[in-house]
Amino acid sequence: MNDTQTPNGQPDQLRDDIDPDDLLALDPVDEDGPDSRIATVLAERDEYRDRFMRALADAENARKRAEKDRREAENYGGSKLARDLLPVYDALNRAIEAADRSTAPQLVEGVELTLRELSNVFGRHGIEVIAPAVGDRFDPLLHEAMFEAPVPGTKAGDIIQVMVNGFRIHDRLLRAAQVGVSSTPAG
Protein backbone atom coordinates (compact mmCIF):
# COMPACT_ATOMS: atom_id res chain seq x y z
CA MET A 1 0.00 0.00 0.00
CA ASN A 2 1.01 3.56 -0.76
CA ASP A 3 0.65 6.38 1.75
CA THR A 4 -0.46 9.85 0.65
CA GLN A 5 -1.76 12.92 2.47
CA THR A 6 -5.45 13.86 2.27
CA PRO A 7 -6.46 17.53 2.19
CA ASN A 8 -7.06 17.48 5.95
CA GLY A 9 -3.54 16.16 6.60
CA GLN A 10 -4.52 12.58 7.48
CA PRO A 11 -2.66 9.71 5.87
CA ASP A 12 -4.59 7.99 3.10
CA GLN A 13 -3.79 4.59 1.83
CA LEU A 14 -4.06 3.67 -1.84
CA ARG A 15 -5.12 0.15 -2.45
CA ASP A 16 -3.24 -1.93 -4.94
CA ASP A 17 -5.49 -4.94 -4.43
CA ILE A 18 -8.51 -3.63 -6.45
CA ASP A 19 -9.17 -5.63 -9.58
CA PRO A 20 -9.97 -3.49 -12.68
CA ASP A 21 -12.80 -5.89 -13.55
CA ASP A 22 -14.44 -4.95 -10.25
CA LEU A 23 -14.32 -1.28 -11.31
CA LEU A 24 -16.02 -2.11 -14.61
CA ALA A 25 -18.86 -3.70 -12.69
CA LEU A 26 -19.52 -0.29 -11.08
CA ASP A 27 -19.89 1.37 -14.54
CA PRO A 28 -23.46 2.69 -14.91
CA VAL A 29 -23.67 1.71 -18.59
CA ASP A 30 -26.52 -0.74 -19.08
CA GLU A 31 -25.83 -4.09 -20.59
CA ASP A 32 -28.70 -3.48 -23.04
CA GLY A 33 -26.38 -1.36 -25.11
CA PRO A 34 -26.19 2.23 -26.28
CA ASP A 35 -29.92 2.42 -27.15
CA SER A 36 -30.87 2.14 -23.49
CA ARG A 37 -28.36 4.85 -22.55
CA ILE A 38 -29.71 7.14 -25.31
CA ALA A 39 -33.26 6.63 -24.05
CA THR A 40 -32.12 7.50 -20.53
CA VAL A 41 -30.37 10.66 -21.75
CA LEU A 42 -33.43 11.67 -23.81
CA ALA A 43 -35.69 11.17 -20.78
CA GLU A 44 -33.37 13.34 -18.67
CA ARG A 45 -33.34 15.98 -21.42
CA ASP A 46 -37.14 16.00 -21.53
CA GLU A 47 -37.31 16.31 -17.75
CA TYR A 48 -34.87 19.26 -17.78
CA ARG A 49 -36.78 20.88 -20.66
CA ASP A 50 -40.03 20.53 -18.70
CA ARG A 51 -38.40 22.04 -15.60
CA PHE A 52 -37.00 24.89 -17.69
CA MET A 53 -40.38 25.63 -19.31
CA ARG A 54 -42.09 25.61 -15.90
CA ALA A 55 -39.44 27.95 -14.46
CA LEU A 56 -39.85 30.23 -17.48
CA ALA A 57 -43.64 30.26 -17.01
CA ASP A 58 -43.22 30.98 -13.29
CA ALA A 59 -40.89 33.88 -14.07
CA GLU A 60 -43.37 35.30 -16.61
CA ASN A 61 -46.24 34.97 -14.13
CA ALA A 62 -44.17 36.71 -11.46
CA ARG A 63 -43.39 39.54 -13.90
CA LYS A 64 -47.08 39.96 -14.78
CA ARG A 65 -48.08 39.85 -11.11
CA ALA A 66 -45.47 42.49 -10.23
CA GLU A 67 -46.68 44.71 -13.09
CA LYS A 68 -50.28 44.36 -11.91
CA ASP A 69 -49.28 45.16 -8.32
CA ARG A 70 -47.33 48.21 -9.51
CA ARG A 71 -50.28 49.43 -11.58
CA GLU A 72 -52.68 48.96 -8.65
CA ALA A 73 -50.33 50.75 -6.27
CA GLU A 74 -50.10 53.63 -8.73
CA ASN A 75 -53.87 53.86 -9.24
CA TYR A 76 -55.12 53.06 -5.74
CA GLY A 77 -52.17 53.89 -3.47
CA GLY A 78 -53.74 57.19 -2.45
CA SER A 79 -57.11 55.68 -1.53
CA LYS A 80 -56.59 56.09 2.21
CA LEU A 81 -55.61 59.75 1.84
CA ALA A 82 -58.53 60.34 -0.53
CA ARG A 83 -60.96 58.81 1.99
CA ASP A 84 -59.55 61.09 4.66
CA LEU A 85 -60.13 64.14 2.41
CA LEU A 86 -63.78 63.35 1.65
CA PRO A 87 -65.06 64.96 4.88
CA VAL A 88 -63.16 68.14 3.92
CA TYR A 89 -64.98 68.15 0.58
CA ASP A 90 -68.30 67.65 2.39
CA ALA A 91 -67.56 70.44 4.88
CA LEU A 92 -66.71 72.89 2.08
CA ASN A 93 -69.97 72.01 0.30
CA ARG A 94 -71.97 72.54 3.50
CA ALA A 95 -70.21 75.86 4.10
CA ILE A 96 -71.19 77.10 0.64
CA GLU A 97 -74.80 75.95 1.10
CA ALA A 98 -75.09 77.62 4.52
CA ALA A 99 -73.24 80.82 3.65
CA ASP A 100 -75.02 84.12 3.35
CA ARG A 101 -73.66 85.60 0.14
CA SER A 102 -74.96 89.04 0.93
CA THR A 103 -72.91 89.53 4.12
CA ALA A 104 -69.64 87.80 3.16
CA PRO A 105 -69.34 87.43 -0.62
CA GLN A 106 -65.53 87.25 -0.56
CA LEU A 107 -65.59 84.48 2.04
CA VAL A 108 -68.07 82.46 -0.01
CA GLU A 109 -65.97 83.02 -3.13
CA GLY A 110 -62.86 81.83 -1.27
CA VAL A 111 -64.59 78.67 -0.10
CA GLU A 112 -65.87 78.04 -3.64
CA LEU A 113 -62.33 78.45 -5.03
CA THR A 114 -60.96 76.07 -2.40
CA LEU A 115 -63.65 73.49 -3.24
CA ARG A 116 -62.94 73.89 -6.96
CA GLU A 117 -59.20 73.35 -6.37
CA LEU A 118 -59.88 70.25 -4.26
CA SER A 119 -62.14 68.93 -7.04
CA ASN A 120 -59.36 69.56 -9.59
CA VAL A 121 -56.86 67.65 -7.43
CA PHE A 122 -59.35 64.79 -7.10
CA GLY A 123 -59.79 64.76 -10.88
CA ARG A 124 -56.04 64.62 -11.53
CA HIS A 125 -55.85 61.52 -9.34
CA GLY A 126 -58.81 59.71 -10.90
CA ILE A 127 -61.29 60.52 -8.13
CA GLU A 128 -64.76 61.35 -9.38
CA VAL A 129 -67.90 62.44 -7.56
CA ILE A 130 -70.97 60.21 -7.62
CA ALA A 131 -73.78 62.77 -7.48
CA PRO A 132 -77.15 61.10 -7.79
CA ALA A 133 -80.19 63.30 -8.40
CA VAL A 134 -83.63 63.06 -6.86
CA GLY A 135 -85.67 60.72 -9.06
CA ASP A 136 -82.70 58.55 -10.14
CA ARG A 137 -82.95 54.80 -9.57
CA PHE A 138 -81.24 53.41 -6.50
CA ASP A 139 -78.08 51.46 -7.42
CA PRO A 140 -76.74 49.37 -4.51
CA LEU A 141 -73.28 49.38 -6.09
CA LEU A 142 -73.07 53.18 -5.90
CA HIS A 143 -75.61 54.22 -3.27
CA GLU A 144 -76.20 53.49 0.39
CA ALA A 145 -79.84 53.68 1.51
CA MET A 146 -80.02 55.66 4.74
CA PHE A 147 -83.81 55.45 5.02
CA GLU A 148 -86.84 54.30 3.08
CA ALA A 149 -90.15 56.17 2.99
CA PRO A 150 -93.33 56.05 0.92
CA VAL A 151 -93.57 59.19 -1.22
CA PRO A 152 -96.57 59.83 -3.47
CA GLY A 153 -95.73 60.20 -7.13
CA THR A 154 -92.60 58.01 -6.99
CA LYS A 155 -91.88 54.39 -7.71
CA ALA A 156 -90.26 52.02 -5.25
CA GLY A 157 -86.47 52.32 -5.56
CA ASP A 158 -86.41 55.97 -6.65
CA ILE A 159 -84.02 58.29 -4.83
CA ILE A 160 -86.02 60.86 -2.88
CA GLN A 161 -83.17 62.64 -1.05
CA VAL A 162 -79.38 62.88 -1.34
CA MET A 163 -77.60 63.39 1.97
CA VAL A 164 -73.97 62.97 0.88
CA ASN A 165 -72.39 62.47 -2.53
CA GLY A 166 -70.30 59.38 -3.15
CA PHE A 167 -66.84 59.04 -4.66
CA ARG A 168 -64.93 56.50 -6.68
CA ILE A 169 -61.25 56.29 -7.55
CA HIS A 170 -60.82 54.92 -11.06
CA ASP A 171 -63.18 51.93 -10.97
CA ARG A 172 -63.27 51.37 -7.19
CA LEU A 173 -65.82 52.85 -4.83
CA LEU A 174 -64.32 55.06 -2.12
CA ARG A 175 -67.62 55.99 -0.51
CA ALA A 176 -71.18 55.24 -1.55
CA ALA A 177 -73.57 58.15 -1.97
CA GLN A 178 -75.91 58.28 1.02
CA VAL A 179 -79.50 58.58 -0.13
CA GLY A 180 -83.11 58.21 0.92
CA VAL A 181 -85.14 55.76 -1.14
CA SER A 182 -88.84 55.62 -1.92
CA SER A 183 -90.67 52.54 -0.78
CA THR A 184 -93.90 51.36 -2.33
CA PRO A 185 -96.36 54.21 -1.78
CA ALA A 186 -99.03 53.47 0.79
CA GLY A 187 -102.52 53.10 -0.36
Q: CA distances (Å), 92 to each of 74, 114, 131, 160, in order?
A: 28, 8, 16, 23
Paired residues of 168 in beta bridges: 128, 173
Model-wide pTM > 0.95: no
154 vs 82: CA distance, rounded Å: 35
Boundaries of every domain in the chain: 16-76, 79-183
User: Measured between alpha carbons, how far is 89 from 124 in angstroms, rounded to an integer?
Assistant: 15
Per CATH, the homologous superfamily of domain 79-183 is Head domain of nucleotide exchange factor GrpE (2.30.22.10)
Give the model confidence (pLDDT) of 121-177 as tens digits: 999 999 999 999 999 999 999 999 999 998 888 888 999 999 999 999 988 999 999
Q: Is residue 28's pLDDT more than 80?
A: no
**Residue 132 and residue 95 in contact, taking contact as beta carbons nearer than 8 Å:** no
